[in-house]
Amino acid sequence: MSRTQSALLGALVLLAGASGSAVAAVPPDPAGIATIPCTVDYKVQNQWDTGFTAAVTVTNNSAAKTSWAVKWAYAGNQKVTSGWNAKISQSGTAVTAANETYNGTLATGGSVSFGFNASYSGTNALPTSFTLDGVTCNVDDGSGGGGGGGGSDPSGRVDNPYTGAKVYVNPEWSAKAAAETGGSRISNQPTGVWLDRIAAINGASGSMGLRAHLDAALAQKGSGEEVVQLVVYDLPGRDCAALASNGELGPTEIDKYKTQFIDPIAAILADSNYASLRIVTTIEIDSLPNLVTNTGSRATATPQCDTMLANGNYVKGVGYALAKLGAIPNVYNYLDAGHHGWIGWDDNFGASATLFKQAATSEGATVDDVAGFITNTANYSALKENNFTINDTVNGTSVRQSKWVDWNRYADELSFAQAFRNQLVSVGFNSGIGMLIDTSRNGWGGTARPTGPGATTSVDTYVDGGRYDRRIHVGNWCNQAGAGLGERPQASPATGIDAYVWMKPPGESDGSSSAIANDEGKGFDRMCDPTYTGNPRNNNSMSGALPNAPLSGHWFSAQFQQLMTNAYPPL
């Protein structure tokens, strides 16, 4: 996944500074001492035949500012097409990047970073001069060694961010887990930090904000490598087929999503204080697959999903998030890819990969902004079904014809993730992409775990008697009764898999089992009601949900205890 290279500023007339680094010539001040009021670091991070992505960092060495504007000019036909962390305009060859409302303050000695995508043809000549508020700046060529381990590029980016790294243990989740009887057995496990509303960025209801988590991760990091796992989850019209996890933004509020959610997250992640962290982002779970499976003439279609397909705001939002966050060298974007019981069917498999490619090349994003994909996020699909395969037959009847499998080509999450990775590469994603699988709640251990295949009386008795996944239907997703903790988080566990992760923190509810008034935009979904008899998406089966559940994301002690009891591997 090497894709970042520093710009070579050979066109500049350079003076060798005392340190041996290259600096642009600036006029001496009256006392004969070089004046450097500001420094600009301009890097081309990614370049292709018709365009490029650039990152700019400006350091202010003069008086503190409450607003700023950086200007430069191109020698060629470069044209800025989109940008982030600055308001970028262009007139002819002249470009101006002015502050956003949230990053206008620039202290003496302080820095600010922004980036953009641009088109060009011929030669992509680098700018030779920059000004900050009309004052000419020194230009830093950004040369120097990068960090990281094997398979790294000059930015320090590595092929698999989990290799050789610790993973951040969220102290808030850890404290809740440790407070439960027996919870100290897993309270040191790393889990995802969910940014599921705008208020979560700065910290909602007394919880830690993004900066607080990143600061805590630096403290945990020590001298080694550290991964921080974030779930970026606030699309307009979010979760169009599930009311329990509806979000705060309406279907048309794409601009608010960009400027009030993604932009501030990007600004924090781009802070040089956090450059030594490997930041893994899970981008917008349960979004794009809905456009494939729950729209149009399908029995599972909803008006809300039809709206999001028509207005394009899921695709636009995901593309924008990938572009903004992917421009930060130490951020690794993993796009949500549903799970085998959602897009493992022939009608959904190829169509989903094609849609993901569309999203990953929209709003300035490219496939280089995608480090990989994550499956089974906050879901319950078994990692590996050992007691039957999709190729088995019983009395001449294929396992695919069983009620449980229902013509799906995949029986478990591992086989699906590996096959879907190949499909994604075939539609144009980089061959180096890796998969993550959320194993936080898919262990299905305990006394109900089968020890062998079911009886061969029929294909259904064979599959139902042997399957680890004890859900009533593979479409059931809310607070499932009988579930257990799955494989503990680990790096490189199988071919094509970057890591098993606990992206969904065990013990956090999927949704309330009855309507609860709240200010979080979360509705009541009957799939979280244990008395619900189902809908077309779960073949009108019982929901299989636990009773007395709180709002999604809130602590659910009874579920946490069940997950520990049924853990596989056992605790």
The set of catalytic residues is 286, 510
Q: What's CA 381's distance to the chain center, in Å?
A: 20
Neighbours of 515 (CB within 10 A): 11
Neighbours of 474 (CB within 10 A): 25
Look up residue 257 and give its DSSP letter: I
| CA 164 – CA 149 distance, rounded (Å) | 8
3-class secondary-structure state, position 284: coil
Is the backbone peptide bond immediately before 569 cis, with ω within 30 degrees of 0? Answer: yes
Which helix (DSSP H) or strand (DSSP E) does residue 546 occupy?
A: none
Closest CA to 392 of 405, 374, 377: 405
Q: Which residues make Cβ contacts (< 8 Å) with residue 185, sequence separation at least 6? A: 564, 571
Closest CA to 439 of 467, 417, 424: 417
| CA 53 – CA 83 distance, rounded (Å) | 9
| CA 253 – CA 243 distance, rounded (Å) | 18
Q: Which residues make Cβ contacts (< 8 Å) with residue 382, sequence separation at least 6? A: 412, 413, 442, 444, 467, 468, 469
The token pair at 527 is 């799939």
Place of tokens 């294929």: 398
| CA 182 – CA 565 distance, rounded (Å) | 10
Is the Cβ–Cβ distance between 308 and 293 less than 8 Å? no
Would you list the DSSP string of 181-196? Answer: TTGGGTTTS--PEEE-
In the chain, what is the straight-line distance between the N-terminal and C-terminal CA atoms, in Å? 36
The token pair at 462 is 């064979």
